[in-house]
Amino acid sequence: MSTQVPETETEAEAETESKPHQERRLAEKEKRREAADRERVAREEIEAADDSVHLKVFRYDPEVEGKQEPRFDDFHVPFKKGMTVLDALMYARDHYDSSLTFRHSCRQAICGSDAMFVNGSQRLCCKTQMVDLEEPVRVEPLPHQEVVKDLVVDMQHFYDQMESVEPYFQTNETPDGELEEQRQSRENREKIKMSTRCIWCGACMSSCNIAAGDNQYLGPAAINKAYQFYMDEREGEDMQEHRMRILEQEHGVWRCQTQFSCTEVCPKDIPLTEHIQELKREAVKSNLKFW
């Protein structure tokens, strides 16, 4: 019995194997053509615009050979009135390099996902106006955090610190009626109002020199979140004592050296340093005994 494969079958298999390769080549060719079209549109828009802005953007990709060494790429973007740093980054990504990676979501300074290091300071890119910055505008990932790719950093440690202070309302006393509200006085609400504005962007943690040197330090964002619930009159004394034990630990409020860097960079204007100092006073008072 002959074991020779018919020539027609061999040719068919070869043709089948070559199809994916051809499809990939065509897809890559189409991708290059689209990229060239985007760059052409960008050049035309820059020529037509009254002004343009110069971005120097940090680039790093550990998974791509040739991009594993950190560098800065330059992008020239046509300027429009009201343009933010996030607008400029999105333009650079959409018109020059689709691999440019950064986080963003709401574009209204609410989600906190686009905090970056812009011209040497932690800022929300969607809130920062290009017209207020000196060029070239240097955009880098948040310092003191591991860079995942380009402008994206690993936020897991920050989230772990936030979770460690149990950032949720807890009480032993609830209203008798099923539909009755657990009321809070107007004065108490005003006291903690600013602390509730935290959007978990991580800018304060990134700016803190203590957090940079002490990986166990709770950090200003986590302490502020604990302040929100510790100062809430609706939580019982036993819960307050529990929170204070968390806050007055070795890596808690006493590690703060009152440098005000966190307060300066907070995009929601929360008086973080003031809240930390107030909790220090509460810690002292909780340990005082009169007899």
pLDDT at 84 over 60: yes
Both 92 and 206 in one domain: the answer is no
What local confidence, expressed as pLDDT, does residue 237 receive? 86
Task: Write the CA distances from 231 to 113, 122, 169, 182, 242, integer angstroms.
Answer: 27, 28, 11, 15, 13
Instruction: With a cut of 80, say whether residue 102 has pLDDT above it.
Output: yes
Region class of 188: left (phi > 0), else alpha (psi between -120 and 50), else beta: alpha
For residue range 185-237, list pLDDT tens digits in order.
999 999 999 999 999 999 999 999 999 999 999 999 999 999 999 999 998 88
Same domain, 84 and 165: no
pLDDT digits (tens, 9 = 90+) for 142-154: 999 999 999 999 9
7: pLDDT confidence band, cut at 50, 70 and 90? low
Residues 140 and 208 in one domain: no
Residues ≥6 apart with Cβ < 8 Å to 266: 203, 204, 272
Looking at the predicted structure, is the pLDDT value of residue 131 above 90?
Answer: yes
Q: Which of 67, 77, 82 is nearest to 38 (CA)?
A: 77
User: How confident is the model at residue 16, as a pLDDT?
Assistant: 57
Same domain, yes or no: 75 and 189: no
Residues 70 and 118 in one domain: yes
| 137/191 same-domain check | no
Asked if residue 272 and residue 162 are part of one domain, the reply reads: yes
How sure is the predictor about 1, in pLDDT bands with cuts at 50, 70 and 90? very low
What is the domain extent for residue 96?
Answer: 31-146
